[in-house]
Chains A and B, each alone.
Chain A
Amino acid sequence: MPINITMPALSPTMEEGTLAKWLVKPGDEVNSGDVIAEIETDKATMEVEAVDEGTVAQILVDEGTEGVQVNAVIAVLAEEGEDAGDIKMSDTPKATTKAEKAPEEPATEASNGAGGSDGGAAKKSEGKVASTPVKLQGVGEGDDRIKASPLARRIAALKGIDLSSLKGSGPHGRIVKKDVEGAQPGQGANAPSGAPASPDGLILPQVLDDRVYDPDSYELKPLDGMRKTVARRLTESFMQVPHFPLTVDIELDHLLAARSGINKAAPEGVKVSVNDMLIKASAMALLEVPECNASYTDKGIAYHKSAHVSVAVAVDGGLITPVIFSAGKKGLHQISDEMKDLAARARDRKLKPQEYMGGTFSLSNLGMFGIKNFASIINPPEGMIMSVGTGEKRPVAREDGTLGIATVMSVTLTCDHRVIGGAEGAKWLQAFKRYVETPEAMLL
């Protein structure tokens, strides 16, 4: 069976490109990984690697051809045992340029509802040519819909298989019964040869090349559901959300003093942490600067009316963000109790989805590890995440020109620039800083 080599999508939005140069000619043998051509887009020149091995039977698009549509067949490989000369068939679909319409049928494995250029095409493989074009499910599929038959969905649910980890073999990439039947819970299945599976649903096929990393030289631990979700969501966020960080130093001495007073006055067994107070302070700041309590959507910016603070909790094998809902309206006692309960159950992986979804802002604290400053990746669809560094004694220059010592922490606020501008972010940080440095304000 001859193998079609198709025009790869070098970027999520690429629809066509220029075939700049062929590095092989008919009759050449190619091995998987060989660079066979160079493709140009308006942004970059990329090398195209062969995924399958075989003999180049026919080159269908000449060097220098512009406007070659993604997924058009650009060359045909003969497999071992096939006579390359035999394959020059009149029926081999020709590559098309923009002026022509793509041929109606086989071999073009057309765009499969990639949703055009609105980020939907993000699932295309990058810089790789696959005999069956690599289609990765899940990420940015326009409407995020996984195409699967009702029966496949039913079986997946029964077996505990994540459909987003599977590649569909049905029409238009639809996941059908046989795709699910072969799959094991918590793992991808039925990866076609030549197209690496993408169990994590990332943009790029993530594989370790056996020629570079001997499989015996590392231990492969299968991805569990949490790891996959973390990988998928953070990749999605980091690639799709325009991040920018804002850093500020905040003095903690007042807050620490207040905390110690509060804990002295608190009933037996209640011990409010600095983090509990930061949760409260950030929620108060969100209510004060509502333009920062926002989510970007295609239809408009959603301004949340309550401040629900997601708190990053490291758990064995991943990360999860339980939410303190309406944290601005809760007292520190309650926040402290809820946080203890949520964190404990998070570590046991006992949280219900409604307990870790629905936040409007995230807080991540690595202060206990002595981290001075860091910038987190936004937790979509939230508009901001704050990274809290360690509180440490630092020399500070007072306004009167003298040098003093204060307990200072650096916090970095990462913002989704589609929703929040630098000025808004700064305004929110000022409010937050005021609540922390003057904790009495939280009582107002």
Chain B
Amino acid sequence: MADFDLIVIGSGPGGYVAAIRASQLGMKTAVVEKESLGGVCLNWGCIPTKALLRSAEVLHLAKTAEAYGLKKLEPEVDLPAVVKRSRDVAKQLSGGVKHLMKKNKITVIEGTARLEKATPAPKVIVEDASGKHTTHIAKHVILATGARARAIPQAGLEPDGDLIWTYREAMVPKELPKRLLVIGSGAIGIEFASFYNELGSDVTVVEMVDRILPVEDADISDMARKQFEKQGIAIHTKAQVKGLKKGKGKVTADIEAGGKTEKGEFDKVILAVGIVGNVEDMGLDKLGVKVEKTHVVVDGFGRTGVQGLYAIGDLTGPPWLAHKASHEGVICVEGIAGSNKTHPFDASNVPGCTYSHPQVASVGLTEAKAKEEGRKVKVGKFPFIGNGKAIALGAAEGMVKTIFDAETGELLGAHMIGAEVTELIQGYVIAREGELTEAELMETIFPHPTLSEMMHESVLDAYGRALHM
């Protein structure tokens, strides 16, 4: 006899959302968590970094107060207080998840889970902090164990918790590194680069490919690079860190670019070279779960091919984003419940956001990718300088770029850089989900004065109709 209809392993934004949805559908549900409710996202990822970046933003505003007609301010950074605020925010939200579990009558099992072959679904054996084992039987089991920072030991890129950090240590600095090397220029690397640069570190970013934020549209990467360099961040692209040599309180890095190797000395290094799935020590191999490149292989409903076993979120591969995990969790649970209304996961409409200064947000295809697919495209671009609200905010640097299929008017992609674009992108995501064409977007009334007017203008520009340019 099963104890639960569903056990979810991992309580990050994939796991806890899946559990809530299951509970809404009347399933008796449990989550297993080995650390803190909310997973990396709430405790060591999205949320605490946003708290840090908010501190950096306030600092930036204070430093530039004169530009807004205020008397010059000379703000000082109280790093422990900045970190404490970030931790408090994380704690508050983790508490919020605990409340949500209780409210939805979801059993929280603390400990580390392992699976053993059984029907109708694998047995879940949980080892708690004291080493005690308990076995739980459910009709369905969802793996939502997430991912962690990738290390490359061959190249000496291995975190040590002291000089070589991952996001985890970078989030709770005891003191500000004078010289910081960030390896990898994806969203995580760039956010930390932006944060530490604003707080006063000398930041160097090394990226292997030819531009930073490589998943973004090339125009966005270019503009971001210019702005970061203007702020004083040193950026090396087509570059690789060949070796890290740890000395006393410092690290020497061999940075190879264009055939030349330069030595650089840094106080701290942040590794942001990707993510690996947490697939180990759960008995997945014995169950016959297919794992490729540290990620569990699933279908559009999270089914692993092993009866009663599902996987969602970072564990199943990119994009490694909280909202992707939550969405997959909901799809997976509705699939289990036998809904025939649920659609399989479609990666093409997952928006991505980077909360650096300036912010970056996008959804859908880049211009290059759209052309690669053989599409005839119409491209619209609108600069922040043409927007009244952006100028009033003192944030006149940025761009909204839209890409349409010239034939069908489908919004293939939207790419934005500048103030508050992470809050704007959802408009285009809705347009894509609702399959609106350029016609509906052109007919939509955007409120004045807002940054969102640029979204309208960009669409108009794609068809040669921009009004304020």
* Chain A positions 61-118 with a Cβ under 8 Å from a chain B Cβ: 76, 83, 86, 89-93, 105-107, 109
Nearest CB of chain B from residue A155's CB, rounded to whole Å: 5
Asked if residues A109 and B435 are in contact (CB atoms below 8 Å), the reply is no
Contact of A107 among B27, B339, B408 (CB under 8 A): B339
Contact of B435 among A76, A89, A91, A151 (CB under 8 A): A151
B120: chain A residues at CB < 8 Å are 83, 86
Q: Does A410 contact B (CB under 8 A)?
A: no
Contact of B437 among A2, A105, A154, A176 (CB under 8 A): A154
A155's nearest neighbour on chain B, judged by CB, is B408
Give Cα distance in the complex from A155 to B408, angstroms. Answer: 6
Asked if residues B435 and A106 are in contact (CB atoms below 8 Å), the reply is no
Which of B18-26, B39-47, B358-366 is near enough to bind chain A? B18-26
Q: Does A275 contact B (CB under 8 A)?
A: no
Which of B184-192, B208-216, B275-283, B340-348 is near enough to bind chain A? B340-348
Give Cα distance in the complex from A90 to B139, angstroms. Answer: 11
B119: chain A residues at CB < 8 Å are 83, 86
B440: chain A residues at CB < 8 Å are 150
Give Cα distance in the complex from A2 to B308, angstroms. Answer: 13
Asked if residues A106 and B339 are in contact (CB atoms below 8 Å), the reply is yes
Q: Does A171 contact B (CB under 8 A)?
A: yes
Nearest CB of chain A from residue B228's CB, rounded to whole Å: 36
**Given the interface contacts A106-B337, A151-B410, does A91 sit within 8 Å of B437 by beta carbon?**
no
A4: chain B residues at CB < 8 Å are 338, 340
A181's nearest neighbour on chain B, judged by CB, is B408
Asked if residues B22 and A91 are in contact (CB atoms below 8 Å), the reply is yes
What number of residue pairs across chains A and B have CB atoms under 8 A from each other? 81
A104's nearest neighbour on chain B, judged by CB, is B24
Specify which of A2, A86, A92 lies most central, judged by the most chain B CB atoms within 10 Å of its CB. A86
Contact of A106 among B340, B343, B434 (CB under 8 A): B340
Nearest CB of chain B from residue A126's CB, rounded to whole Å: 20
Q: Does A212 contact B (CB under 8 A)?
A: no
Contact of B334 among A3, A106, A149 (CB under 8 A): A106
Contact of A154 among B335, B336, B339, B408 (CB under 8 A): B408
Nearest CB of chain B from residue A2's CB, rounded to whole Å: 5
Asked if residues A89 and B27 are in contact (CB atoms below 8 Å), the reply is yes
**Given the interface contacts A89-B5, A149-B434, does A106 sit within 8 Å of B338 by beta carbon?**
yes
Give Cα distance in the complex from A151 to B407, angstroms. Answer: 11
Give Cα distance in the complex from A17 to B337, angstroms. Answer: 25
Specify which of B24, B341, B407 lies most central, judged by the most chain A CB atoms within 10 Å of its CB. B341
**Given the interface contacts A150-B440, A158-B407, does A1 sit within 8 Å of B338 by beta carbon?**
yes
Asked if residues B339 and A105 are in contact (CB atoms below 8 Å), the reply is yes
A171: chain B residues at CB < 8 Å are 341
Q: Does A14 contact B (CB under 8 A)?
A: no
Nearest CB of chain B from residue A128's CB, rounded to whole Å: 16
Contact of A91 among B27, B341, B409 (CB under 8 A): B27
Give Cα distance in the complex from A31 to B423, angstroms. Answer: 52
B24: chain A residues at CB < 8 Å are 105
Nearest CB of chain A from residue B300's CB, rounded to whole Å: 12
A151: chain B residues at CB < 8 Å are 408-410, 435-437
A149: chain B residues at CB < 8 Å are 434-436
Nearest CB of chain A from residue B375's CB, rounded to whole Å: 13
Asked if residues A91 and B26 are in contact (CB atoms below 8 Å), the reply is yes
Asked if residues A105 and B25 are in contact (CB atoms below 8 Å), the reply is yes
* Chain A positions 236-282 with a Cβ under 8 Å from a chain B Cβ: none
Nearest CB of chain B from residue A112's CB, rounded to whole Å: 10
Cβ proximity bits A144-162 to B, threshold 8 Å, 1 near / 0 not: 0000011110110010000
Give Cα distance in the complex from A1 to B301, angstroms. Answer: 11
Asked if residues B28 and A90 are in contact (CB atoms below 8 Å), the reply is yes
Contact of A2 among B22, B338, B410, B436 (CB under 8 A): B338
B139: chain A residues at CB < 8 Å are 86, 89
B434: chain A residues at CB < 8 Å are 149-150
Nearest CB of chain A from residue B459's CB, rounded to whole Å: 13
A-B CB proximity, top 8 nearest: A106-B339, A149-B435, A151-B435, A86-B120, A91-B26, A91-B27, A91-B25, A150-B437
Interface residues of B (CB under 8 A from A): 5, 22, 24-28, 119-120, 139, 308, 334-343, 407-410, 434-437, 439-440
Beyond A89-B5, A91-B25, A169-B343, list 8 extra A-B contacts (CB 8 Å): A89-B139, A91-B26, A91-B336, A105-B25, A105-B339, A106-B337, A106-B338, A158-B408
